[in-house]
């Protein structure tokens, strides 16, 4: 399993998400999204919506586990490596975040459009520092959701574990919101995603901290992580904030409503620019390399 993960991490880093392929075929995440939309459309109605949301999640995870098991049953290791590489997102994450820095160097409007591709908050009124902070935050959070957590669940549960995690994470992004429509129905997806990401988020923070040279102020970092409204996203964001000397999080707008979230690493620079985004992307790759080395060494010692 560790050897397959090493190969998948390298394949993802080399190829990312080839446009020529996914312009012709639906990406697995798209197929997962369609399944979630069907469950949402048919079950998210009438009374007992929280219970129906639990049923929807159970059906989704059962389908994901069966799909992963069928793929894992194929002969050889090629299927495992290819599917795992498709469901990892290191290359695409770094490309999308770096694109925000490039766009900001052209104009603020270009930067807003680029960052809107990777964040769910309102972007139309963002100034340049807000665009840069959003990109850096997305880099940290999605390193956990898109790389560390999938790798973690692949190591624990093989392809069934990886596919189930990706289905759960997709469900959380689609229905795990406190909106009138999804607060009850998406409750199970949101809580399960919190549990699934608890360890990976803290592992990601550790990788980022080590990749930054293990800077001092560990107790301050822990305090920063607890300031975040998310029980998991605060950990990689706090590590990224300290490593890049940037104040992250803070007030932001969702659906026209401004939050009063505190800043993570409030002593950091609240006005980063494109160069700070580039530094965050470089840190992503150093953290990825540390993770890859750890998995590779584990594979060597297990042989």
Q: What is the value of pTM for the model shown?
A: 0.94
- The number of angstroms, rounded, from the C-alpha of 160 to the middle of its chain's C-alpha atoms is 19
pLDDT average per 10 residues of sequence, the chain (303 residues): 93 92 90 97 96 98 97 92 96 96 97 94 91 96 97 97 98 92 96 97 95 78 81 92 91 78 89 96 97 89 68
Q: Tell me what pLDDT residue 163 has.
A: 98
User: Rounded to the nearest 5°, which phi and psi values hold at 135?
Assistant: -65, -40
Cross-strand partners of 257: 254
Determine the pLDDT at residue 131. 96
């Amino acid at each position: 399993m560790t050897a397959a993960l090493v190969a998948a991490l390298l394949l993802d880093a080399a190829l990312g998400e080839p446009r020529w392929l996914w312009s012709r075929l639906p990406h697995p995440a798209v197929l997962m999204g369609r399944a979630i939309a069907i469950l949402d459309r048919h079950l998210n109605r009438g009374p007992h919506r929280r219970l129906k949301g639990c049923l929807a999640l159970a059906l989704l995870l059962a389908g994901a586990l069966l799909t992963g098991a069928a793929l894992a049953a194929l002969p050889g290791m090629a299927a495992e490596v290819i599917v795992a590489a498709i469901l990892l997102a290191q290359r695409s994450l770094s490309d999308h975040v770096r694109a925000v820095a490039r766009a900001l160097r052209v104009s603020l409007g270009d930067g807003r459009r680029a960052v809107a591709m990777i964040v769910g908050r309102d972007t139309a009124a963002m100034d340049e520092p807000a665009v840069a902070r959003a990109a850096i935050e997305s880099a940290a959070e999605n390193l956990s959701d898109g790389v560390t957590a999938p790798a973690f669940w692949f190591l624990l549960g093989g392809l069934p574990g990886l596919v189930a995690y990706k289905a759960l994470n997709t469900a959380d992004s689609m229905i795990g919101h406190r909106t009138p429509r999804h607060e009850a129905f998406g409750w199970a997806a949101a809580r399960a995603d919190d549990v699934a990401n608890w360890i990976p988020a803290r592992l990601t923070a550790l990788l980022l901290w080590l990749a930054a040279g293990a800077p001092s102020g560990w107790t301050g970092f822990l305090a920063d992580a607890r300031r975040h409204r998310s029980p998991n996203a605060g950990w990689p964001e706090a590590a990224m904030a300290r490593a890049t000397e940037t104040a992250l999080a803070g007030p932001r707008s969702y659906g026209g409503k401004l939050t009063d979230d505190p800043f993570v690493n409030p002593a950091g620079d609240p006005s980063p620019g494109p160069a700070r985004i580039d530094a965050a992307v470089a840190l992503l790759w150093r953290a990825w390399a540390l993770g890859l080395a750890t998995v590779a060494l584990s594979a060597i010692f297990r042989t």
